[in-house]
Structure 1
Amino acid sequence: MSMLLIPIRHCLLYPFTPFACEPVSGDLESMDLEPPVQVVFEQVLNATASPVHHILSGSFRSLSLFLLAFSPVKLTLDLVQTIPAFGPHQYIGLGPHTQNGDARVAYTTSWALPPKLHSWAIEQQSDSVHVRLLNSVDITATSSYITVPPPYSHLYSAGGPSAQVHQLPPASTPGIGPHVQEIYFVPTSEWDAADKTRKALRYGSHGIEFAFPAGSPALAFIPVLGGSTIEIYSRAEDGSLINIDSSPAPQRPGALAAEEDGPRHVKVHPNGRVLYCVTEHSNYLDVYTITPPAGQGPILTYVASRSLIPPRLREAEQDKTDAPKPTYRGDTLALAPSTPEKPAPESIFVTTRGGEGETTRGWVSVFRLDAEGMFSGDIENNPYLVERYEARTTGGKAHALDIKAKADDPDGGLWVILTDDSPPQPGVRVLEWDGWLWRGGGTRLREVVAWLPVGFYPSDTAKEGEPEQMAGGSHAVWLD
């Protein structure tokens, strides 16, 4: 794969981009990183040698975004472009493709202060992909999650004590538009004193997802980690959200109390009738049915749970001896994408991380789903219905997922991104999933390639013109 490196002046992303690079403000020491040298550059990918799929990734310990190219033929993962950004931990939400498919917009959060959201143009040509800044908007509290649900008219973000709604401008003038609404997860009387930094993500809101039940307005679900509730909203015609219900975490016999569950991330089945939730503290995947609001009945009804870690490890966690116990932190989840061959997802992928600063490895678990989105049979004891992959590291603060279907694979094969923030080799990994058809001779889920740079350059040793290097992947998404 040949690449061309084109240096560009430091102050502008591109000569025709009207937005100057902004310095990161706030206390960098509080972010546990050193400020790297911001060097703007572009590498243009010659993609004619073999087809590639592009990945856009953020990092916990560097300020840039990173564009990577994955070759499913060569099983390689290469850096294509480093895009100077404005803070660590960019969570990425993607807008839809344009009608001709040659452009879309990515929206990102960050941990930088003062808090902001950013939009980026992703321009795809026959032989290259470019990423450039569109605009940035101020928000009041550090956000952790961002999404653009149909009909793609509004942008929704959530983090810590609040969530935000922004209008999106017409496709001809992409970016982030006017602020529409702020939603609070603390009493308004406590808002001024509330922690609005990234630390509040540990006990505040951590995500937002939408369901579109037939005959009902769209519903939004926001897990609030510290309160162990899933807050439920109805979306109004102007894009704003109206709180209509609050669903507490389920009581688990012989396990943690509901208030200690820590719901972190949720996803909704394409049928709009099933919601999945990963709990950070208790390490479960919970499944709920969704009933559109009518009368006094609950909107979410708890159905079942599965452990994010193998049962033997859960038993070790609950062992009453004084021996050191492994600890885990439930993280995120992703449904297998719908395909013409398999319109209903057959699988849901979930992750957990080893305890921070420990040597306990994280896990990726895959659970088989039936046509209605429920667990298929006795998951824990049937290898045809569950797959578990022990990660190479703890995962650190990462272990985010994104999934892409393999081209022309009737067995449901997938490519899975797994981000890693744990030394000594943090970065972005690509896993391969063979589908549930058992072929024998090895695991159905395995790592095939990783991009593991050696770390970014601290400011006192950086060389003039050196690009910033990733130091731990945070969140990454497939762009095509």
Structure 2
Amino acid sequence: MRPFLVLLALSVAQVVNGDLHQLIVGTFGTENLYTVEFDDVALTLDLLQNYSAPAASSWITLSHDKKNLYGTSSSEDSPAFISYSLGNATSITYRTTLQMEGNCSSSKAIFVVAASEPPYAVYGTPFGSLGECGTVMSVDKNGTLSEVIQNYTYKSTSGVHGMALNSNNTFIYSADDSANTLWTHSVNGSSGEVTYVSSISGPVAGADPRHVAVHPDGKYLFVVLEGANKLAQYTIDQSTGIPSFNNITYALIPDNATSSSYWSDEVALSYSKNYLWATSRARSTNATGYISAFSLATDGSITDQLFIIPTTSSGGTANSVTPSEFSDKFVALTDSSTGFVEIWTLGSDDMNASVIAHLDLDDGGCCANAVWYS
């Protein structure tokens, strides 16, 4: 074959096949980790691997270099966190489980997040009748969880469901669903340990902060209010790190929806950080949840809510949205009511979104959140 025809054939093949991207998916009640693959041209989503894990993980997160995966241990009698090493998205090796220490022994681990700066500490929280604690874990030279280096307390009525670090890892923010509180802790750059800075109540009684996201410029904090079914924008004081409520909120369900029939879930920034995604879940499996996107100004503030549209299911206890790390166009959405992963794409005019790929993973416990490996 002539050289130019070879090049043409290769070019066509690349256009047809597109780029392949892998995601790892956790579960609420089955001891599995799934690796799935998305083709961004063919718009297909396929199962690559079902990894047998030591425990179910209702939340998973990647290390800064994607060589490690950390998860909550939903199968333990006491809060614990699991560490895996990754050769790639399908080369998963269990390394260790760390029990959370302190007086939160009757709660279940619910959330875990990893620092992106040295010493790369990992932070976890439980949720339940004794969910007032947080824990800080160190990692070894390979990134494997090493030991619990700090236990700290929120308050006796707390149940922190989500956390987020700012981009330089100097502050960590905790969304306290049970105590309707937003917490700020400073982070020690040498040890990773945290120090209490402030706690502020939600905008109204029953607002119930659930998950948070920090814009990388560090000026704005976005908070999903599970009980109020709204997204709140906070301004962060650049000297103290303390957020303050701007009296700016956006509904995450339509105006004609009954708020008590929904519970809002997740918020996450897009690849370019020019968009923000958020979701709500329906409390009944006979109804759908909703997905929203927002446009952001260059300083990180919200300029507009682009849409609120129904998801394809209630979402169950998930409807967790995870934007891709290679394009603003794609986000992954998980469901636990029937168990599936979907890829959604932002419309060309930014005023809508739609499902372009769907994969059922109905094993009785899937699906919790997903992370993009590539």
Q: State the TM-score, normalized to the length of structure 2.
A: 0.86
Say whether 1:365 aligns with 2:305. Answer: no
Aligned to 1:183: 152
Tell me if structure 2 keeps the 8 A contact 1:227–1:259: no
Deviations 1:402-452 (A, max 9, x none): 111555xxxxx42111000113xx2111111135x46xxxx6310011111
* Cα separation, partners in 2 of 1:212 and 1:347, compared to 1, 3 Å: closer
Give the distance between the partners of 2:251 and 2:64, measured in 1 at CA.
34
Aligned to 1:148: 114
Say whether 1:204 aligns with 2:159. Answer: yes
Deviations 1:53-89 (A, max 9, x none): 0010012232111111111122211111111113334
Match of 1:418 among 322, 330, 333: 333
Larger radius of gyration: 1
Tell me if structure 2 keeps the 8 A contact 1:95–1:152: no
Tell me if structure 1 keeps the 8 A contact 2:30–2:365: yes
SS in structure 2 opposite 1:311? coil
Give the distance between the partners of 1:49 and 1:289, measured in 2 at CA.
43
Deviations 1:29-48 (A, max 9, x none): xxxxxxxxxxxxxxxxxxx9
Match of 2:96 among 135, 138, 145: 135
Aligned to 2:11: none
Match of 2:33 among 62, 65, 68: 65
Aligned to 1:333: 267
Deviations 1:267-322 (A, max 9, x none): 1001011100001111110011111455xxx9211111111112232xx54xxxxx
Give the distance between the partners of 1:118 and 1:152, measured in 2 at CA.
20
Match of 2:126 among 159, 167, 170: 159
Aligned to 2:249: 305
Tell me if structure 1 keeps the 8 A contact 2:207–2:225: yes
Instruction: Name the aligned partner's letter for residue 369 of structure 1.
Output: L
Say whether 1:430 aligns with 2:350. Answer: no
Instruction: Name the aligned partner's letter for residue 179 of structure 1.
Output: V
Tell me if structure 2 keeps the 8 A contact 1:83–1:132: no
Tell me if structure 2 keeps the 8 A contact 1:65–1:90: no
SS in structure 2 opposite 1:261? coil
Say whether 1:400 aligns with 2:328. Answer: no
Q: How much has 1:159 moved relative to structure 2?
A: 2.3
Say whether 1:450 aligns with 2:344. Answer: no
Give the distance between the partners of 2:326 and 2:98, measured in 1 at CA.
36
Tell me if structure 2 keeps the 8 A contact 1:347–1:366: yes
The percentage of aligned residue pairs carrying the same residue is 22
1:185-334 maps to which residues of 2 (within 5 A)? Answer: 185-187=154-156, 204-211=159-166, 218-236=170-188, 237-250=190-203, 258-293=204-239, 299-303=242-246, 304-313=248-257, 316-317=258-259, 327-334=261-268
Instruction: Name the aligned partner's letter for residue 475 of structure 1.
Output: N
Instruction: Name the aligned partner's letter for residue 398 of structure 1.
Output: A
SS in structure 1 opposite 2:256? helix
* Cα separation, partners in 2 of 1:434 and 1:405, compared to 1, 3 Å: farther
Deviations 1:329-367 (A, max 9, x none): 0101111123xxxxxx22110000001x44221000111
SS in structure 2 opposite 1:260? coil
Instruction: Name the aligned partner's letter for residue 179 of structure 2.
Output: G
Instruction: Name the aligned partner's letter for residue 244 of structure 1.
Output: V
Work out the number of aligned pairs and report it: 346
Which runs of no fewer than 5 residues in structure 2 stay unpaired?
1-15, 102-106
Supply the RMSD in Å over aligned alpha carbons: 2.3
- Larger relative strand fraction: 2
SS in structure 1 opposite 2:108? coil
Q: How much has 1:109 moved relative to structure 2?
A: 0.6
SS in structure 1 opposite 2:293? strand
Tell me if structure 2 keeps the 8 A contact 1:66–1:83: yes
Match of 2:82 among 118, 141, 148: 118
